[in-house]
Structures are given as C-alpha cells and as structure tokens.
Amino acid sequence: MQKRKLGACGPTVSTLGLGCMGMSHGYGPAAPETESMNLIALAYELGVTFFDTAECYGPYTNETLVGKALKPIRDKVVIATKCGIQIENGVQKLDARPDIIRRSVEGSLKRLQTDRIDLYYLHRIDPKVPVEEVALVMRDLIAEGKILTWGLSEAGPKTIARAQAVTPLAALQSEYSMMWREPEKTVFPLLEAEGIGFVPFSPLGKGFLTGKIDTATTFAADDFRRSVPRFEPENLEANLALVRFIETLAATKSKTPAQIALAWVLAQKDWIVPIPGTRRIDRLRENLGAVTVEFAPDELAELNTRLAAIPVQGDRYKGEYAKRVAE
C-alpha cells in the first residue's frame, strides 16, 4: 500500500489506517480477543501501518488489545491514541488538566506495551482548560520522548490556531465523509496552510454508506448508533437517497459502495488518512480495496457538485455530545 505523510511534522503512514475502537467499544459487546488480534495482524500483512485507539475505548481494554496485537511489530507501525476523556461511574467526563494528561500517557504507554506513542491526541477540547496549557504539556511530553507528535480531535479553526502557535500539530482527527463535509469549509483551509494532516473517523458514516443499513436495521441496546439522530427512522429513510447515489456510482466502476465512499475521501487531499474500522476480515479486505479506485479531476468535481445537492438529515450528535465540538 502507498504511504502518506500526516502534515509537516507528522509520521508517514499507510494510505488507509485502521480504527480499532469498534472491536471493543461502541458497537455492542466486544469481539473475541483472538478474532480482533487476527484482524489487526492481517491488516498489517495487507499494508496497514497506522492503528488508532484511545484510553476511553472500553475504557482501557481497546488500548490493551492494540498493544498486545502490535507488540511483535511495534517498530514497524504507527500507533495513535487519545487522552482527555475520563470515565467516572460509567459516565464520560472531559478532563484535559496537565496532570491528568500526564497520568493518562503513563497508563497508555503501559497498556500499549510501548516506550512511546507516535501520535497523541486530545480526544475532545475541555472548555475548562485553555488549549495552550495542553499544547505546553504536549511539548514537554515530546521533549521527554513519551510521545512523538500530537494532535486534536473535533476542534475548530480557532482552537487549532491557538494550539498550533504553541506546539505544532501533526494532525486533526474529526468526522468526515460523503455524509458530513463541513470540515471542507471550517478547517481544510487552515490545515493546508499550516501543514497539518487530517485523519477522518467514520469515513463510512458509521457504516451507513456501505449500503448495509436500511429502515429494517435494528441496533443492539449498547450500540451507540441508537442515540445518533441520523439513525432515527425518519432521518435514516431520508438519507437513503445518498446511499442509492453511491450504489449507482459504485456499479459503474465495478466497486462496492464502501470502496467508493473511502476512495472519495482519499481523493480530496493527499494529506488525508481515513481510519475506517471493522470487526470482519471480509470488510477489512473490501475497505482496503478502496486504494485502487481513482477519480479523474473533472469526475471528482462533478461528483462533489452532485453530492452537495443531496441533503443529509439529522445531527451527528445528540445533547451533551453535540457540545463537545470546539470552535
């Protein structure tokens, strides 16, 4: 698989990464450890060198899984993890105080069985802690060799600029897909100007753009999509128009909807590295097939125009979670 460099100061990684969250968090009961470890190992064999996790996934169990799976090939891969979301009595709480970040990085290093974290994100912006304070502790952790680079997640241009002025960022991680294109307007210009990479999570719209979800789909009680407004029946039905459009395009290229959706993300900028997640080997192989899909410049321009004309109904987050997206 070809490689891409995440920004001016970030690591060089495989064109597609692997989001590991869903193996043990957010999508129902955790997958059997052996199955997840085999999938991670296969991903590496197929060319993936970029693996994403976080301390709050599980919590903690996802980092443990990723660390165990990648230990034999640690020096050949790039590991990204995150801090800033603490779990108290089963409830998520934002906490980006420098002492908490230091405690978190030590825990992550232990669980990941490594002496350094290649890319360390602040998972969400804590409104109680100036991002400049976070940038300073990240600078210290880089100097100490505990992390190699750092990034933000779900931050807006004002916050990014403030952080970048203190300690250069390697990457921003945020949602981005054919279903959610807001980053093109809000952060792409700044990221390009400052040489900051972009790592989209949910590049398949939390599975929706694969064409495998419809009005008959039911989610398990502990599947977080039950709380996502876009998956409410009325919104889901309306958004199937986008899926049908992708399916039609996929048929013309003899590809799957998932491959088209991922290839579209990759085609936008050469400093974008999506991290689709999966628990299934067949889906992993399918996703990686997206790197073979190409769009001619005029074809991509027309595609973007047509996508802009398809409305997407329903918010990304509900309630408290919607407030965590910083300016």
- Write out the catalytic residue numbers: 57
Tracing tokens 């779900």 back to the chain, one arrives at 154
Closest to 172 in 3D by CA, of 291, 56, 1, 10: 10
Q: Which of 17-36 are b and which e, b meaning 16 or more Cβ less than 10 Å from the residue's Cβ?
A: bbbbbbbbbbbeebbeeeeb
Question: Greatest CA span in the chain, whole angstroms?
Answer: 54
Parallel, antiparallel or unpaired: strands 3-5 and 12-14: antiparallel
CB 152 within 8 A of CB 167: no
Amino acid in the structure at residue 149: T
Omega cis (within 30) before 59: yes
CA–CA gap between residue 117 and residue 82 (Å, rounded)? 10
CA–CA gap between residue 294 and residue 253 (Å, rounded)? 10
Length of the chain: 327
